[in-house]
């Protein structure tokens, strides 16, 4: 069975370290700028231009990034949910189709016309598009041919069973559309988050570099997330 679209991983470009997620970086930045106005830190950092206004601006950027991070998490959760629904529905359809197809191969053994029109002589494809074509053709041909349908009824593949499968296939297609929509929204959310991260991280990194020099070996560094 073909796998659905893979869930995108944390962006490699944006993250300075593959061992730290964007959410963890947000947490680090929140801590740093929340404590940047502590007297023992603020006074020293003012000497290199970190005014209260500049720190507030960076706090706002962190809040914005955190909002985008939460939105990205939400969108991927929705995409994952739709993917699971799609996979489950496809597995159900494929199980019934495979059983029906194997029964038909026995029923129409030696019947070249039936084997050809129902595509019984072809291997079941793995890609979704080709699989979908084979499944829809199978049930459409049975439904359209009274002769085939009459013979199929002998092995319990009747009009009701075919209608049920066609309804399930229609539901599967609706799930596919929904899955693609959620995938697009999740990717858009990731792009927005990454853009905000790429704008903020250099500012955060520069602040940390200045702090390490100006507050070298000062226990106050612990307050902004730097181990002494």
Count how many residues are written for the chain. 228
Give the model's confidence band at 19: pLDDT under 50 very low, under 70 low, under 90 confident, else very high.
confident
For residue range 21-56, list pLDDT tens digits in order: 999 999 999 999 999 999 999 999 999 999 999 999
What does the pLDDT read at residue 16? 56
Residue closest to 178 by CA, chosen among 75, 79, 74: 79
Average pLDDT across the chain, whole number:
92
Q: Could you tell me the pTM of the whole model?
A: 0.76
Structure tokens at 102: 């194997």
Per domain, the residue ranges of the chain are 22-224
Instruction: Compute the CA torsion angle 33, 39, 45, 47 (nearest 10 deg).
Output: 150
- Quote the pLDDT of residue 18: 52
For the chain, the 3-state helix, strand and coil shares in percent, each to the nearest 5, are: 75, 0, 25
Give CA–CA dist 212/215, Å, rounded. Answer: 5
- Output the pLDDT for position 4: 41
Confidence (pLDDT) at 1: 39
pLDDT bin (cut points 50, 70, 90) of residue 9 is: very low
Q: What are phi and psi of 35, to 5 degrees?
A: -100, 5
């Amino acid at each position: 069975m073909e796998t659905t679209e893979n869930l995108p991983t944390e962006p490699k470009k944006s993250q300075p370290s593959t061992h730290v997620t964007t959410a963890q970086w947000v947490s680090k930045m929140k801590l740093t700028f929340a404590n940047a106005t502590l007297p023992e830190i603020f006074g020293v950092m003012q000497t290199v231009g970190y005014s209260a206004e500049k720190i507030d601006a960076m706090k706002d950027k962190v809040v914005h990034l955190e909002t985008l991070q939460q939105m990205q998490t939400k969108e991927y959760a929705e995409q994952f949910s739709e993917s699971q629904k799609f996979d489950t529905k496809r597995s159900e359809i494929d199980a019934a189709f495979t059983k029906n197809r194997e029964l038909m191969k026995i029923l129409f053994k030696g019947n070249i016309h039936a084997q050809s029109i129902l595509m019984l002589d072809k291997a079941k494809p793995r890609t979704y598009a080709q699989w979908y074509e084979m499944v829809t053709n199978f049930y459409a041909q049975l439904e359209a041919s009274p002769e085939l349908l009459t013979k199929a009824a002998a092995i319990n593949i009747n009009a009701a069973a075919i209608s049920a499968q066609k309804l399930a296939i229609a539901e599967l297609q609706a799930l596919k559309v929904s899955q693609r929509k959620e995938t697009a929204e999740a990717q858009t959310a990731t792009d927005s988050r990454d853009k905000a991260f790429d704008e903020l991280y250099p500012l955060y990194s520069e602040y940390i570099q200045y702090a390490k020099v100006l507050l070298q070996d000062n226990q106050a560094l612990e307050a902004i997330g730097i181990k002494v």
